[in-house]
Amino acid sequence: MLKSVSVGGGFRILKDGMLRIALRGSWKFTDDELLQHVAPIMASHQKFWGDLPGPYLITVLPIAEKPNNAQAGGTGLGDAFAFYSTPNMELDRHFEHGLAHEHMHTWIPFLVGPMSPENNGLEEAWLSEGFTDLFTYRLLVRDGMAPIEETVETLNGIMFTYAFSPARNATNATLGAEFWRDQAMQRMPYQRGLLIAAYIDDRLRRDSGGAYDLEDVMLAMRRIADAASTNDDKPTLRANFIAAAKSVGADISSVLKRFVDNADLIFLPEDIWVPCEKLETNEIAEFYRGFKGGRTRANGNVVVGVDPYGPAYAAGLRDGMKQ
Ligand SMILES: [Zn+2]
Protein backbone atom coordinates (compact mmCIF):
# COMPACT_ATOMS: atom_id res chain seq x y z
CA MET A 1 0.00 0.00 0.00
CA LEU A 2 1.43 3.40 -0.97
CA LYS A 3 0.41 6.60 0.74
CA SER A 4 1.65 10.03 -0.16
CA VAL A 5 0.87 13.72 -0.08
CA SER A 6 1.44 16.13 -2.97
CA VAL A 7 1.35 19.89 -2.43
CA GLY A 8 2.34 22.72 -4.72
CA GLY A 9 2.68 26.50 -4.71
CA GLY A 10 4.79 28.94 -2.74
CA PHE A 11 6.02 26.63 0.02
CA ARG A 12 8.94 27.37 2.30
CA ILE A 13 11.11 24.32 2.99
CA LEU A 14 12.64 24.06 6.47
CA LYS A 15 15.33 21.47 7.08
CA ASP A 16 16.87 19.87 10.13
CA GLY A 17 18.95 16.81 9.27
CA MET A 18 16.63 14.39 7.51
CA LEU A 19 13.52 16.27 8.58
CA ARG A 20 11.84 18.55 6.06
CA ILE A 21 8.86 20.77 6.74
CA ALA A 22 7.05 22.33 3.80
CA LEU A 23 4.73 25.14 4.85
CA ARG A 24 3.10 28.27 3.56
CA GLY A 25 1.18 31.18 5.03
CA SER A 26 1.83 33.12 8.23
CA TRP A 27 1.40 31.61 11.67
CA LYS A 28 1.49 32.62 15.32
CA PHE A 29 4.96 31.05 15.55
CA THR A 30 8.11 31.49 13.53
CA ASP A 31 9.49 28.84 11.20
CA ASP A 32 12.36 28.34 13.64
CA GLU A 33 10.03 27.81 16.60
CA LEU A 34 8.19 25.18 14.62
CA LEU A 35 11.40 23.31 13.83
CA GLN A 36 12.45 23.50 17.48
CA HIS A 37 9.18 21.86 18.52
CA VAL A 38 9.17 19.14 15.92
CA ALA A 39 12.79 17.96 15.79
CA PRO A 40 13.04 16.67 19.42
CA ILE A 41 9.83 14.63 19.00
CA MET A 42 11.23 12.89 15.93
CA ALA A 43 14.56 12.27 17.68
CA SER A 44 12.85 10.84 20.78
CA HIS A 45 10.86 8.32 18.74
CA GLN A 46 13.85 7.26 16.68
CA LYS A 47 15.88 6.70 19.84
CA PHE A 48 13.14 4.56 21.37
CA TRP A 49 12.85 2.35 18.31
CA GLY A 50 16.61 2.19 17.84
CA ASP A 51 16.47 3.73 14.39
CA LEU A 52 18.80 6.14 12.72
CA PRO A 53 17.10 9.33 11.63
CA GLY A 54 15.33 8.66 8.34
CA PRO A 55 13.81 11.07 5.86
CA TYR A 56 10.58 12.55 7.16
CA LEU A 57 8.40 15.18 5.51
CA ILE A 58 5.74 17.32 7.15
CA THR A 59 3.48 19.43 4.98
CA VAL A 60 1.65 22.23 6.75
CA LEU A 61 -1.38 23.74 5.02
CA PRO A 62 -3.32 26.72 6.35
CA ILE A 63 -7.10 26.38 6.18
CA ALA A 64 -9.73 29.13 6.58
CA GLU A 65 -9.64 30.96 9.91
CA LYS A 66 -12.34 30.18 12.47
CA PRO A 67 -12.46 32.94 15.09
CA ASN A 68 -11.65 31.68 18.64
CA ASN A 69 -11.56 28.14 17.43
CA ALA A 70 -8.27 26.69 16.23
CA GLN A 71 -8.85 23.57 14.21
CA ALA A 72 -6.14 21.23 13.13
CA GLY A 73 -5.79 17.71 11.85
CA GLY A 74 -3.77 15.50 9.62
CA THR A 75 -2.88 12.08 8.38
CA GLY A 76 0.21 10.00 9.11
CA LEU A 77 1.70 8.54 5.95
CA GLY A 78 4.53 6.34 7.17
CA ASP A 79 7.47 8.64 6.52
CA ALA A 80 5.41 11.79 6.19
CA PHE A 81 2.68 13.72 7.93
CA ALA A 82 0.17 15.80 6.01
CA PHE A 83 -0.97 18.44 8.47
CA TYR A 84 -3.52 21.25 8.15
CA SER A 85 -4.64 23.93 10.55
CA THR A 86 -6.31 27.29 10.94
CA PRO A 87 -3.56 29.94 11.21
CA ASN A 88 -4.53 30.79 14.82
CA MET A 89 -3.06 27.50 16.04
CA GLU A 90 -0.51 27.63 18.87
CA LEU A 91 2.42 25.30 19.40
CA ASP A 92 0.75 23.92 22.51
CA ARG A 93 0.30 20.45 23.94
CA HIS A 94 -2.51 19.61 21.51
CA PHE A 95 -0.26 20.40 18.60
CA GLU A 96 2.64 18.44 20.13
CA HIS A 97 0.51 15.45 20.93
CA GLY A 98 -1.13 15.46 17.49
CA LEU A 99 2.18 15.60 15.74
CA ALA A 100 3.84 13.03 18.02
CA HIS A 101 0.85 10.68 17.63
CA GLU A 102 1.09 10.81 13.83
CA HIS A 103 4.85 10.34 13.90
CA MET A 104 4.48 7.34 16.22
CA HIS A 105 2.29 5.77 13.51
CA THR A 106 5.48 5.36 11.47
CA TRP A 107 6.11 2.38 13.78
CA ILE A 108 2.69 1.57 15.24
CA PRO A 109 1.13 0.15 13.13
CA PHE A 110 3.29 0.51 10.00
CA LEU A 111 6.51 -1.19 11.18
CA VAL A 112 5.03 -3.62 13.74
CA GLY A 113 2.06 -4.57 11.53
CA PRO A 114 0.55 -4.84 9.02
CA MET A 115 -3.02 -4.26 10.17
CA SER A 116 -5.50 -6.95 9.34
CA PRO A 117 -7.07 -6.13 5.95
CA GLU A 118 -10.47 -7.13 7.31
CA ASN A 119 -12.72 -4.13 7.85
CA ASN A 120 -9.78 -1.81 7.01
CA GLY A 121 -8.01 -2.78 10.22
CA LEU A 122 -10.70 -1.12 12.37
CA GLU A 123 -10.88 -4.15 14.66
CA GLU A 124 -7.22 -3.62 15.50
CA ALA A 125 -7.65 0.11 16.12
CA TRP A 126 -7.35 -0.54 19.89
CA LEU A 127 -3.70 -1.36 19.17
CA SER A 128 -2.94 0.93 16.22
CA GLU A 129 -4.48 3.99 17.95
CA GLY A 130 -4.55 3.19 21.68
CA PHE A 131 -0.99 1.87 21.90
CA THR A 132 0.17 4.75 19.72
CA ASP A 133 -1.35 7.14 22.26
CA LEU A 134 0.25 5.44 25.27
CA PHE A 135 3.73 5.54 23.74
CA THR A 136 3.19 9.08 22.49
CA TYR A 137 2.40 10.32 26.02
CA ARG A 138 5.11 8.21 27.60
CA LEU A 139 7.91 9.44 25.35
CA LEU A 140 6.80 13.08 25.54
CA VAL A 141 7.20 12.84 29.33
CA ARG A 142 10.32 10.68 29.36
CA ASP A 143 12.22 12.92 26.98
CA GLY A 144 11.24 16.11 28.75
CA MET A 145 8.79 17.51 26.21
CA ALA A 146 5.65 17.37 28.38
CA PRO A 147 5.41 18.08 32.12
CA ILE A 148 4.22 15.11 34.16
CA GLU A 149 1.39 17.15 35.74
CA GLU A 150 -0.05 17.93 32.31
CA THR A 151 0.14 14.28 31.31
CA VAL A 152 -1.57 13.16 34.53
CA GLU A 153 -4.37 15.60 33.72
CA THR A 154 -4.64 14.21 30.20
CA LEU A 155 -4.72 10.59 31.43
CA ASN A 156 -7.36 11.47 34.01
CA GLY A 157 -9.42 12.99 31.22
CA ILE A 158 -9.10 9.86 29.10
CA MET A 159 -10.10 7.57 31.99
CA PHE A 160 -13.05 9.82 32.86
CA THR A 161 -14.28 9.91 29.26
CA TYR A 162 -13.85 6.14 28.98
CA ALA A 163 -15.82 5.50 32.16
CA PHE A 164 -18.75 7.67 31.02
CA SER A 165 -18.68 6.77 27.34
CA PRO A 166 -21.91 5.27 25.97
CA ALA A 167 -19.59 3.04 23.90
CA ARG A 168 -17.66 1.58 26.84
CA ASN A 169 -19.48 -1.77 26.68
CA ALA A 170 -19.48 -2.01 22.89
CA THR A 171 -17.64 -5.14 21.80
CA ASN A 172 -14.77 -4.82 19.40
CA ALA A 173 -16.89 -6.12 16.53
CA THR A 174 -19.54 -3.45 17.22
CA LEU A 175 -16.89 -0.72 17.36
CA GLY A 176 -15.53 -1.86 14.01
CA ALA A 177 -18.99 -1.73 12.44
CA GLU A 178 -20.05 1.59 14.00
CA PHE A 179 -16.70 3.41 13.81
CA TRP A 180 -17.71 5.88 11.10
CA ARG A 181 -21.27 6.36 12.36
CA ASP A 182 -20.87 7.38 15.97
CA GLN A 183 -18.36 9.66 17.66
CA ALA A 184 -18.24 7.76 20.96
CA MET A 185 -17.60 4.53 19.03
CA GLN A 186 -14.88 6.27 17.07
CA ARG A 187 -13.05 7.45 20.18
CA MET A 188 -13.44 4.20 22.14
CA PRO A 189 -10.53 2.26 20.51
CA TYR A 190 -8.17 5.11 21.52
CA GLN A 191 -9.37 5.12 25.13
CA ARG A 192 -9.78 1.38 25.55
CA GLY A 193 -6.55 0.66 23.68
CA LEU A 194 -4.53 3.01 25.87
CA LEU A 195 -5.93 1.39 29.03
CA ILE A 196 -5.29 -2.11 27.67
CA ALA A 197 -1.71 -1.09 26.90
CA ALA A 198 -1.28 0.29 30.43
CA TYR A 199 -2.86 -2.83 31.97
CA ILE A 200 -0.65 -5.23 30.01
CA ASP A 201 2.45 -3.12 30.63
CA ASP A 202 1.80 -3.39 34.37
CA ARG A 203 1.04 -7.10 34.24
CA LEU A 204 4.18 -7.92 32.30
CA ARG A 205 6.27 -6.00 34.79
CA ARG A 206 4.66 -7.75 37.78
CA ASP A 207 4.75 -11.24 36.30
CA SER A 208 8.38 -10.96 35.25
CA GLY A 209 9.54 -9.32 38.49
CA GLY A 210 10.42 -6.15 36.57
CA ALA A 211 12.40 -7.88 33.81
CA TYR A 212 9.97 -7.04 30.98
CA ASP A 213 7.29 -4.57 30.13
CA LEU A 214 5.26 -3.53 27.12
CA GLU A 215 8.22 -1.74 25.57
CA ASP A 216 10.04 -5.07 25.18
CA VAL A 217 6.97 -6.52 23.51
CA MET A 218 6.67 -3.65 21.04
CA LEU A 219 10.33 -3.95 20.13
CA ALA A 220 9.87 -7.72 19.74
CA MET A 221 6.91 -7.04 17.39
CA ARG A 222 9.22 -4.90 15.29
CA ARG A 223 11.83 -7.69 15.17
CA ILE A 224 9.25 -10.29 14.12
CA ALA A 225 7.91 -7.98 11.39
CA ASP A 226 11.45 -7.17 10.18
CA ALA A 227 12.41 -10.85 10.07
CA ALA A 228 9.60 -11.78 7.67
CA SER A 229 10.97 -12.06 4.16
CA THR A 230 7.89 -10.70 2.41
CA ASN A 231 5.00 -8.50 3.49
CA ASP A 232 2.63 -11.45 3.11
CA ASP A 233 4.66 -13.41 5.68
CA LYS A 234 4.24 -10.76 8.36
CA PRO A 235 1.68 -11.58 11.04
CA THR A 236 -1.05 -8.95 11.37
CA LEU A 237 -1.05 -6.68 14.42
CA ARG A 238 -2.97 -8.78 16.92
CA ALA A 239 -1.26 -12.05 15.99
CA ASN A 240 2.12 -10.35 16.11
CA PHE A 241 1.35 -8.83 19.50
CA ILE A 242 0.44 -12.24 20.93
CA ALA A 243 3.59 -13.81 19.43
CA ALA A 244 5.82 -11.01 20.69
CA ALA A 245 4.37 -11.30 24.22
CA LYS A 246 5.05 -15.04 24.08
CA SER A 247 8.68 -14.30 23.26
CA VAL A 248 8.99 -12.70 26.73
CA GLY A 249 7.07 -15.57 28.33
CA ALA A 250 3.62 -13.96 28.58
CA ASP A 251 0.30 -15.31 27.36
CA ILE A 252 -1.93 -12.30 26.77
CA SER A 253 -4.65 -13.89 24.65
CA SER A 254 -7.10 -14.16 27.56
CA VAL A 255 -6.57 -10.48 28.41
CA LEU A 256 -7.36 -9.55 24.81
CA LYS A 257 -10.46 -11.75 24.87
CA ARG A 258 -11.74 -9.98 27.96
CA PHE A 259 -10.97 -6.38 27.13
CA VAL A 260 -10.94 -6.29 23.34
CA ASP A 261 -13.50 -8.89 22.26
CA ASN A 262 -15.92 -8.88 25.20
CA ALA A 263 -15.47 -5.23 26.21
CA ASP A 264 -15.13 -6.03 29.93
CA LEU A 265 -14.53 -2.80 31.83
CA ILE A 266 -10.87 -2.12 32.51
CA PHE A 267 -9.84 -1.25 36.05
CA LEU A 268 -6.18 -0.40 36.53
CA PRO A 269 -4.42 -1.35 39.79
CA GLU A 270 -3.96 1.59 42.13
CA ASP A 271 -0.17 1.28 42.25
CA ILE A 272 0.23 1.01 38.49
CA TRP A 273 2.13 4.28 38.15
CA VAL A 274 3.83 4.37 41.55
CA PRO A 275 6.25 6.09 42.33
CA CYS A 276 4.02 8.67 40.67
CA GLU A 277 0.68 9.30 42.34
CA LYS A 278 -1.57 6.39 43.26
CA LEU A 279 -4.48 5.77 40.94
CA GLU A 280 -7.92 6.01 42.50
CA THR A 281 -11.03 4.33 41.17
CA ASN A 282 -14.24 5.86 42.49
CA GLU A 283 -17.90 5.38 41.85
CA ILE A 284 -19.55 8.53 40.63
CA ALA A 285 -23.24 8.86 40.00
CA GLU A 286 -24.05 9.45 36.37
CA PHE A 287 -25.70 12.81 35.80
CA TYR A 288 -29.27 12.51 34.61
CA ARG A 289 -31.27 15.67 34.10
CA GLY A 290 -34.69 14.02 34.02
CA PHE A 291 -36.17 16.33 31.37
CA LYS A 292 -35.22 17.36 27.85
CA GLY A 293 -32.72 20.21 28.19
CA GLY A 294 -32.24 21.05 24.51
CA ARG A 295 -35.95 20.84 23.68
CA THR A 296 -36.83 22.92 26.74
CA ARG A 297 -34.41 25.64 25.65
CA ALA A 298 -35.83 25.57 22.13
CA ASN A 299 -39.32 25.83 23.67
CA GLY A 300 -38.61 29.24 25.22
CA ASN A 301 -37.57 27.60 28.52
CA VAL A 302 -41.00 26.06 29.02
CA VAL A 303 -40.20 22.59 30.35
CA VAL A 304 -40.83 19.58 28.11
CA GLY A 305 -40.04 15.89 28.29
CA VAL A 306 -40.03 15.38 32.07
CA ASP A 307 -39.33 11.70 32.75
CA PRO A 308 -41.95 10.56 35.29
CA TYR A 309 -39.44 8.10 36.78
CA GLY A 310 -36.60 10.61 36.92
CA PRO A 311 -35.21 12.91 39.61
CA ALA A 312 -36.68 16.12 38.12
CA TYR A 313 -40.24 14.72 38.40
CA ALA A 314 -39.60 13.55 41.94
CA ALA A 315 -38.45 17.07 42.79
CA GLY A 316 -41.73 18.48 41.48
CA LEU A 317 -40.86 19.56 37.94
CA ARG A 318 -43.67 19.11 35.38
CA ASP A 319 -44.07 19.67 31.66
CA GLY A 320 -45.27 23.21 30.94
CA MET A 321 -43.52 24.87 33.90
CA LYS A 322 -41.42 27.86 32.98
CA GLN A 323 -37.73 27.74 33.88
ZN1 LIG B 1 -3.86 7.84 14.86
Reported as a single tens digit per residue, the pLDDT across 33-81 is 999 999 999 999 999 999 988 889 999 999 987 777 778 888 888 788 8
Give distance in angstroms: CA of 105 to centre of ligand 1. Answer: 7
Tell me, in angstroms, the distance from the centre of ligand 1 to residue 106's CA: 10
C-alpha 194 to ligand 1 mean position (Å): 12
Residue 1 has pLDDT above 60, yes or no: no
- Using the mean position of ligand 1's atoms as its centre, give its distance from the Cα of residue 104 in Å: 8
What's the whole-number mean pLDDT along residues 178-199? Answer: 95
Q: Is the pLDDT of residue 149 over 80?
A: yes
Whole-number pLDDT of residue 170:
95
What's the whole-number mean pLDDT along residues 268-292?
87
CA of 281 to the centre of ligand 1 (A): 27
pLDDT digits (tens, 9 = 90+) for 212-233: 999 999 999 999 999 998 888 9
76-102: pLDDT as tens digits: 887 888 999 888 888 888 888 989 998
Ligand 1 center to residue 133 CA distance, Å? 8
The answer on pLDDT for 323 being more than 70 is: no
313 alpha carbon – ligand 1 mean position (Å): 44
Asked if 145 contacts 198 with a C-beta cutoff of 8 angstroms, the reply is no
Q: Provide the residue ranges of all domains of the chain, joining segments of one domain with +.
A: 12-104, 118-261, 285-323
CA 311 / ligand 1 centre spacing (Å)? 40
- What is the CATH number that goes with domain 12-104? 1.10.390.10
- HEC readout, the chain: CCCCCCCCCCCEEEEECCEEEEECCCCCCCHHHHHHHHHHHHHHHHHHHCCCCCCEEEEEEECCCCCCCCCEEEEECCCEEEEEECCCCCCCHHHHHHHHHHHHCCCCCCCCCCCCCHHHHHHHHHHHHHHHHHHHHHHHHHCCCCCHHHHHHHHHHHHHHHHHCCCCCCCHHHHHHHCCCCHHHHHHHHHHHHHHHHHHHHHHHHHCCCCCCHHHHHHHHHHHHHHCCCHHHCCCHHHHHHHHHHHCCCCCHHHHHHHHHCCCCCCCCCCCCCCCCCCCCCCCCCCCCCCCHHHHHHCCCECCCCCCCCHHHHCCCCCCCEC
Q: Tell how far the Cα of 107 is from the centroid of ligand 1, in angstroms.
A: 11
Q: What is the pLDDT of residues 21-32, one digit of tens each?
A: 999 999 999 999
What share of the chain has pLDDT > 90, as a percent? 66
pLDDT for res 302: 94
Query: Is the pTM higher than 0.95?
Result: no
